[in-house]
């Protein structure tokens, strides 16, 4: 007798087959006994059987053996399946469970339930390929499957496209039978269209979650920008008050003194007036330094590479600048990249202990790319990045750009800012 593990036939299937054969044999014997034996007694013959009765018995067997065998096979199949539906019934239920009237969100669950009922496995799972990643969308019964059992995997396709797969977790020592292989294959073939709709819904749900998260990021980014603008206004107020305003007030006082002295001592007034030239130059320098922090004139007049080169020239540590064939771009893009580069450069000066910084500006497939890299002490990427990186991200978000930061303790920091943009004609 063949073993189940080699033939795929369980003891219930073998018993069902033997029962069917025994039933067919019993039917044939009963027909011949009833027609030939019973007919001979009615005709008063107890010797050799009548040829006519033998022909009649053969005809009855020929006509009745197929329906009898079918009925016996169905009854045996029901017993072998331990109450599970027949393959025909399973397919009928599956078509009903995946009909057009069924909401798309219920389809995976119904498919898993139908598979579990039809095959009697420990668990039936429905997996979908959602945006290139496999995702478990339904399991019957719910929960984790038995890790010690066998897993039967069937790929589901529709119109030549892979949509996902069905996974049947079988109890240990319970391989798939030939009948179950055929049934599950038929169910997988019919699941294609249903799973296409389910996958579309899953992709839309995934995309909606992504957009919701993005909207939340943008909301938080706007709040940070507003807070940063308020902080910047307060900083400018302090700088104006403590710097330029003090110089201008002192200059005004000295000029009023010159005016008062001029009536009594013109020579002394001329001397005092000459001293104010240096004070006026200091006030001008203070205002210019303040204006560079707000929006440098060189950025407006000469573009991003020139503005970054000017910022690098004022750095207390050496900065190597590379900007090959980078023209003019929209003002918002240039400003976002300039202030991102300035923030990265200031971070390197204040925190990295670097000996040198490399600053590169280039173009790449419809985008402007700014890279700032130092050879300093770096930092732990898992630590709080602080407000500086958040400010850079917010600036780039405002122009549809992106920020990438690569850092490790002892290995320096590499900041890469990308902003999509088209060159300004004639720039």
Q: What is the pLDDT of residues 254-271, one digit of tens each?
A: 888 888 888 888 888 888
- Taking the C-alpha atoms of residue 228 and residue 151, their distance in angstroms, rounded to an integer, is 56
Query: Residue 399 has what pLDDT?
Result: 86
As a whole-number percent, the residues of the chain with pLDDT over 70 amount to 71
Q: Which of 11-15, 108-112, 125-129, 198-202 has the lowest mean pLDDT?
A: 11-15
Query: Residue 26 has what pLDDT?
Result: 78
Judged against a pLDDT cut of 90, whether residue 361 lies above it is answered with: yes
Q: What's the mean pLDDT in 345-355?
A: 85
Q: What's the mean pLDDT in 79-102?
A: 64
Query: Residue 83 has what pLDDT?
Result: 55
- Greatest mean pLDDT among 7-16, 121-130, 183-192: 121-130
Q: List the alpha helices (DSSP H) in 81-177.
A: 87-97, 107-119
Query: Residue 15 has what pLDDT?
Result: 65
376 token code pair: 């300093």
Q: Which of 3-7, 83-87, 381-385 has the lowest mean pLDDT?
A: 3-7
Q: Across 249-299, where does the E strand assignment appear?
A: none
- Taking the C-alpha atoms of residue 270 and residue 311, their distance in angstroms, rounded to an integer, is 39
Query: Residue 120 has what pLDDT?
Result: 75
Judged against a pLDDT cut of 60, whether residue 80 lies above it is answered with: no
pLDDT tier at 8, thresholds 50, 70, 90: very low
Query: Residue 9 has what pLDDT?
Result: 45
pLDDT digits over 25-72, tens only?
777 777 667 666 655 444 444 555 566 667 676 776 677 778 777 777
- Taking the C-alpha atoms of residue 266 and residue 335, their distance in angstroms, rounded to an integer, is 51
pLDDT tier at 376, thresholds 50, 70, 90: confident
Judged against a pLDDT cut of 90, whether residue 416 lies above it is answered with: yes
Environment class of residue 192 by beta-carbon count within 10 Å: exposed (0-12), middle (13-18) or buried (19+)? middle
Judged against a pLDDT cut of 90, whether residue 417 lies above it is answered with: yes
Kindly report the number of other CB atoms within 10 A of residue 107's CB atom: 25
Query: Residue 283 has what pLDDT?
Result: 78
- Taking the C-alpha atoms of residue 390 and residue 379, their distance in angstroms, rounded to an integer, is 16
Q: Which residue has the higher pLDDT, 318 or 273?
A: 318
Q: Which residue has the higher pLDDT, 8 or 10?
A: 10
- Taking the C-alpha atoms of residue 400 and residue 422, their distance in angstroms, rounded to an integer, is 13
Contact in structure between 192 and 150 (CB atoms under 8 Å): no
Query: Residue 16 has what pLDDT?
Result: 62
pTM of the model: 0.46
- Taking the C-alpha atoms of residue 361 and residue 379, their distance in angstroms, rounded to an integer, is 24
Query: Residue 41 has what pLDDT?
Result: 46
Judged against a pLDDT cut of 80, whether residue 287 lies above it is answered with: no
Mean pLDDT estimate for the chain: 76
Query: Residue 6 has what pLDDT?
Result: 36
Q: Which of 221-230, 350-359, 369-378 has the lowest mean pLDDT?
A: 221-230
Q: What's the mean pLDDT in 242-250?
A: 73
pLDDT tier at 419, thresholds 50, 70, 90: very high
Query: Residue 425 has what pLDDT?
Result: 81
Q: Which of 133-142, 207-216, 282-291 has the lowest mean pLDDT?
A: 282-291
């Amino acid at each position: 007798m063949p073993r189940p593990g080699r033939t795929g036939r369980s003891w219930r299937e073998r018993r069902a087959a033997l029962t069917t054969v025994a039933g067919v044999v019993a039917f044939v014997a009963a027909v011949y006994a009833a027609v030939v034996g019973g007919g001979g007694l009615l005709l008063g013959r107890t010797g050799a059987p009548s040829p006519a009765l033998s022909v009649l018995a053969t005809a009855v067997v020929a006509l009745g053996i197929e329906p009898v065998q079918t009925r016996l096979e169905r009854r045996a199949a029901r017993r072998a399946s331990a109450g599970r539906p027949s393959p025909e019934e399973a397919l009928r239920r599956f078509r009903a469970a995946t009909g057009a009237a069924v909401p798309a969100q219920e389809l995976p669950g119904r498919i898993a339930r139908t598979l579990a009922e039809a095959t009697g496995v420990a668990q039936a799972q429905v997996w979908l390929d959602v945006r290139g990643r496999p995702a478990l969308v339904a399991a019957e019964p719910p929960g984790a499957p038995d890790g010690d059992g066998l897993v039967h995997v069937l790929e589901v396709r529709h119109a030549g496209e892979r949509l996902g797969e069905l996974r049947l977790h079988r109890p240990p020592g319970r391989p798939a039978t030939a009948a179950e292989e055929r049934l599950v294959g038929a169910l997988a073939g019919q699941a294609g269209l249903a799973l296409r709709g389910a996958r579309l819904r899953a992709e839309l749900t995934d995309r909606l979650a992504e957009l919701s998260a993005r909207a939340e990021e943008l909301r938080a980014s706007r709040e940070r920008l507003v807070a940063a603008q308020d902080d910047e206004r307060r900083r400018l107020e302090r700088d104006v008050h403590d710097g330029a305003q003090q110089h201008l007030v002192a200059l005004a006082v000295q000029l009023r003194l010159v005016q008062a002295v001029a009536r009594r001592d013109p020579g002394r007034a001329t001397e005092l007036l000459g001293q104010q030239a240096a004070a006026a130059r200091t006030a001008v320098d203070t205002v210019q330094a303040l204006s560079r922090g707000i929006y440098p004139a060189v950025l407006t007049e000469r573009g991003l590479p020139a503005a970054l080169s000017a910022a690098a020239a004022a750095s207390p540590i050496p900065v190597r600048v590379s900007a090959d064939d980078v023209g003019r771009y929209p003002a918002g893009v240039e400003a976002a990249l300039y202030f991102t580069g300035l923030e990265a450069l200031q971070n390197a000066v204040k925190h990295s202990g670097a000996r040198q910084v490399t600053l590169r500006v280039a173009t790449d497939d419809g985008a402007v790319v700014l890279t700032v890299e130092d050879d300093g002490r770096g930092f732990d990427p898992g630590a709080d990045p602080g407000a500086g990186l958040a400010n850079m991200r917010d600036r780039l978000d405002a122009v549809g750009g992106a920020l990438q930061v690569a850092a490790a303790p002892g290995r320096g920091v590499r900041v890469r800012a990308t902003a999509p943009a088209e060159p300004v004609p004639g720039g």
